[in-house]
Amino acid sequence: MSKNQEAASLKAGDHLILVDGSTFIFRAYFQASTMDAKYQKRKSDGLPTGAVQIFCNMLWKLLQEGLTPEPGDEPTHMAVIFDHSAKTFRNEIYNEYKAQRPEPPQDLIPQFGLIRDATRAFSVHCIEQEGFEADDIIATYATQAAKAGARVTIASGDKDLMQLVGPHVGMIDTMKNKIIGEPEVYEKFGVGPDKVIEVQSLAGDSVDNVPGVPGIGLKTAAQLINEFGDLETLLANASSIKQPKRRENLIEFAEQARISKQLVTLKCDVPVELPVAALAVEDMNGPRAIAFLKAMEFNTLTRRVAEATGAEISAIEPAELVVRGWHEPDGKGRIMEGAPASDPADPPAEPNKASLAADPASAGEWTAADLAAARAEAARAAKVDNSAYETVRDMERLRAWIEDAFETGHVAVDTETTSLDAMQADLVGISLATAPGKACYIPLGHVDGEGDLLGGGGLVEGQIPLKDALDALKPMLEDRSVLKIAQNLKYDWLVFHRYGIDVAPYDDTMLLSYTLDAGKGGNGMDELSERWLGHTPIPFKEVAGSGKSMITFDKVTIDKATAYAAEDADVTLRLWRVLKPRLAAEHMAAVYEVLERPLVPVLARMEQRGISIDRQMLSRLSGEFAQGMARLEAEIHELAGKPFNIGSPKQLGDILFGEMGLPGGKKTKTGAWSTSASVLDDLAAEGHELPARIVDWRQLSKLKSTYSDALPGYLNPQTGRVHTSYSLASTTTGRLSSSEPNLQNIPVRTEEGRKIRKAFVAEKGHKLVSADYSQIELRVLAHMADIPQLRKAFEDGLDIHAMTASEMFGVPVKDMDPMVRRRAKAINFGIIYGISAFGLAAQLGISRGEASDYIKTYFERFPGIRDYMDATKKFVHEHGYVQTIFGRKAHYPEVNTSNPNLRSFYERAAINAPIQGSAADIIRRAMIRMEDRLERAKLSARMLLQVHDELIFEVPEAEVDRTIPVVREVMEKAAEPAVDLAVPLQVDARAAANWDEAH
């Protein structure tokens, strides 16, 4: 209930306080920096909070007593106004405006977001609007309120706002505790508030880079304005000025003065999103404010707020906050670019761990690992009861759940839809969970499954209209003070985005699990539930069936849907409680925050954009391939002496090695003849024709079935484009994977295959730009293993395989035999793959002994590589995991198996993972930074695809030349500043109408 809820209005006698958040942040920061160091950082982890603390104290004071301690002065309406971004309409007028602003100090950056969080935590409106400065919004609100007869106080020290002072409008400089009225304005500018802009347009402002007129300062400007009345009159009479220099300047820089006036004139008619009446002060939500203050560790203010609101401090958990832009050394010399603000190292009391939590005073001695262990134990002990969930059928109950989410500060969310494809999924219902066991399902689109023949399919009774529910949920789903928790958030993000909702901030339990446990098993919800909760969730097929008889979720009865869907939210929340504290305990927060979490919306947007394919071209190709196959088929049957199914390896093996009696080489692991390409190639090399034709046939068959036939089936009817789905959590190394369709294995090696690639095209007026890292894995290896020759070769831009050959075989690079280079290349790849004589022999078609000799020679030339490999093997056997240069872990729990083949396999995988994984981390970093960098360069390039070491963009033709350098810069610098690579990264980029020519 708001104090003014009965009248969401603003009238004479009301008091509106408008806090200028943006300038306040800077001034609070500098004031904090003059204080004792202990007031500038959060004690538990060093998060800089000085400015936030000063801000909170100021806000609390204003809310309690207004400008003066006198009763009746406290505000009836209040808001804190921020600048949305650096760009405003003023830059359109004068592009140098505020161009000289330096970058904010490093330890201020994380506090920008926290101050906004603080505002909301105090239940005060937090206002910012794209394209407008805070000053303009303040001017608009002040003008409207003054017109309504209310009293307005602007809390700011910014002289630009002094033009607003008037009978109804005052200012207070809260930093200096100074009240500014008309006399003070006169003192500062030498004119009244109504003439302030005239003076400023002449005098200019070096801080904001407002030019003014050269040679005219505040004093002269005031004198001139007092004499002539306003700028235009002055300029019209400039020729009558006595002082020659001043006269010349006024004439020469008249236009500059007019521009300056536009710059300093505040806009009083911003189309504000919230009407001024809606800024009414609400009763403070004590627990919410306390949760925030506790997270910040502002103990004194926490106590004061608790006393004033009657809230119980110990019953409230610190808020889970997301901090942007915080660089914290995490103990391993790596850099944190963002971090969870709630520090589980200072955990709340855990009711399930009585022995540890009995004395709240001892809570401070908990370690993050204690909390994680207690949470894991509690999660396993608690039972999941999926019959106890609520079905939310009216707005009243929905609002209660939303309120609960605001109170708790976090909520697990899950969407139920009509499709597994997020791009085509319509919302059927939403489930929420705010505490273990406390979950609900909100049915929104369930239809009558009966009477399919007679139409049926009408909405079932007892559901909130979709729009009403989304309107109510949107503010909570977008509110920075409520952490949304989902399992595989990318899916729900895409669904919500289609309905105009931008979910933030968020956590993803799938990514938490992936960050912590990659390689230990799957990260799907059902599997995690088994692993951590000892609970089997209701299988999807139990509610919707499977196979041909599967029904879409909108046909599921609401009772069944509630048990299934609310359970998902409940389980997700429980998993989050187990996994989140482990991030801090196991020092993996940096990996999660820097490499995992930020990628979710980036990938979601890439999926959403999709890519154009030329359907006619593919259809024509299918025809070509079919013809070729038919021709080959006849030939093959002729050669075989009888018809058989060429696509059947079993039948083919029987023909080749049985009936024809060719020398069968390898067997598969089930004992069947191998008919793999390498076997057939060997036979062909001996002059046998049939195997050669089979290889040709197989190629066409693959291209046709996997690509030219299948791809058009993935065209989205709405967008006319193909939208792949990226998986963030299905590789052990940190690579992404792509499916439905897989656009990471589009052919490129053969001429025929590249025809498929040509069918990926840019839309009209655009080009596809492909940018790929050159030899990134070998560069990463050169860095990690610290190999001087390799480092030098990359620094000098040499042909790395030729250099390797030269080192190994003692031949000059110039006029090198291509076969020699090819051998070296195979060895280089072999190294990355954890080389074995067996594998290298197979690759090069040489004997095991020869391959062994090569490897031996290689290690003699590059002893650092052998050292690196031995060290990696030792490490994985001791720890069960290996790490990338950014700290990502890949686990190999079975590496100590007694099975020697398996053991070697895991060892090779463990050697490969840091190399492949570090390269994957680098491109992830590039992708995360890319969109912002393009936007800041005012480029409209859209990132569409990632293929491990390559990014594909769609770029307007006119922007291609400006886009490529930006893309290259972001990619080449992607490791910085976290890692200073000892070798340069090189990116090759090209533009063309289709993917083949761009690549």
Q: How far is the CB of 887 from DNA (least distance, A)?
A: 18
d(CA 339, CA 336): 7
Closer of 574 and 688 to DNA (Cβ): 688
Nearer to DNA, 566 or 768 (CB): 768
CA 858 to chain centre: 41
Nearer to DNA, 407 or 526 (CB): 526
Provide the token pair at 74.
């406290």
Query: Contact 179/68 with Cβ under 8 angstroms?
Result: no
Tell me the C-alpha distance between 134 and 98, whole Å.
14
Separation CA 314–CA 312 (nearest Å): 6
* Closer to DNA by Cβ: residue 835 or 930: 835
> How far apart are CB 740 and DNA at their closest, in Å?
4
Q: Are 595 and 925 in contact (CB under 8 A)?
A: yes
Minimum distance of DNA from residue 823's CB (angstroms): 9
The residue among 201 and 487 lying less far from DNA, judged by its C-beta, is 487
Separation of alpha carbons 54 and 57, rounded Å: 5
Residue number with CB closer to DNA (18 or 690): 690
Among residues 430 and 882, whose Cβ is nearest to DNA? Answer: 882
CB of 417 to DNA, least distance (A): 19
Least distance to DNA from the beta carbon of 776, Å?
8
Q: How far is the CB of 834 from DNA (least distance, A)?
A: 5
SS3 string of 89-146? HHHHHCCCCCCCCCCCCCCCHHHHHHHHHHHHHCCCEEECCCECCHHHHHHHHHHHHH
From the list 853, 848, 832, 835, the residue with the least C-alpha distance to 784 is 832
Give dist(CA 651, CA 643) in Å, integer: 10
DSSP letters, 435-495, are ETTEEEEEE-S-B--S-STT---PBPSS---HHHHHHHHHHHHH-TTSEEEESSHHHHHHH
Give how far Cα 957 sits from Cα of 5, 345, 649, 961, Å: 55, 52, 48, 8
Q: Nearer to DNA by C-beta: 429 or 747?
A: 747
Q: How far is the CB of 913 from DNA (least distance, A)?
A: 7
Least distance to DNA, CB of residue 772, Å? 7
CB 495 within 8 A of CB 417: yes
Select 49 or 738, whichever has its Cβ closest to DNA: 738
CB of 620 to DNA, least distance (A): 18
CB neighbour class for 844 (10 Å; exposed up to 12, middle 13-18, buried from 19): middle
Q: What is the DSSP letter of 530?
A: I
| Residue among 235 and 826 whose Cβ is closer to DNA | 826
Spatial neighbors of 200 by CB under 8 A, at least 6 apart, are: 160, 163, 189, 210, 212, 221, 260, 261, 264
Closest CA to 129 of 21, 38, 210, 10: 21
Q: Cβ closer to DNA: 270 or 922? A: 922
State the minimum distance, in angstroms, from the CB of residue 813 to DNA.
21
441 versus 833: smaller Cβ distance to DNA: 833
To DNA, the closest distance from the beta carbon of 733 in angstroms equals 5
Instruction: Lay out the sheet containing 506-508: strands in order across.
Output: 390-391, 438-443, 427-435, 410-417, 483-486, 506-508
Smallest separation (angstroms) from DNA to the CB of 762: 19
CB-based contacts of 234, cutoff 8 Å, min separation 6: 202, 224, 225, 227, 228, 250
When the beta carbons of 5 and 536 are compared against DNA, the nearer one is: 536
Cis peptide before 747 (omega within 30 of 0): no
Q: Tell me the closest approach of the beta carbon of residue 525 to DNA, in angstroms.
A: 17
Structure tokens at 525: 């919800």
Interior angle at CA 32, CA 27 and CA 37, nearest 5: 160
What's the one-letter identity of residue 875? F
Q: How far is the CB of 706 from DNA (least distance, A)?
A: 4
Both tokens of residue 410?
A: 């976090």
Q: Which two tokens mark 90?
A: 């003023």
394 to 438, 461, 500, 559, 949: CA distances (angstroms): 18, 11, 22, 16, 50
CB nearer to DNA: pick between 433 and 700? 700
Q: How far is the CB of 633 from DNA (least distance, A)?
A: 12
b/e for 742-781, b at 16 or more Cβ within 10 A? ebbebbeeeebbbbbbbbbbbeeebbbbbbbbebbbbbbb
Q: Could you tell me the CA-to-CA distances from 362 to 292, 300, 357 in Å, in that order?
A: 21, 20, 7
Min dist CB 895 to DNA, Å, is 11
Whose tokens are 């990260």? That residue is 523
Q: Provide the token pair at 365.
A: 């001695």
Phi, psi of 642 (to 5 degrees): -165, 155
SS3 746: coil
| CB of 230 or CB of 752, closer to DNA | 752
Which residues lie below 8 Å from residue 958, measured CB to CB, with a gap of 6+? none
User: What are 124's two structure tokens?
Assistant: 């005060």
Angle separating helix axes 368-381 and 558-585, nearest 10 degrees: 160
State the nearest-atom distance from the C-beta of 395 to DNA, in Å.
39
Return the number of the residue (2 or 745) whose C-beta is nearest DNA: 745
Nearer to DNA, 649 or 956 (CB): 649
* Residue number with CB closer to DNA (242 or 749): 749
Residue 935: CB minimum distance to DNA, A: 26
Please tell me what DSSP assigns to residue 39.
G
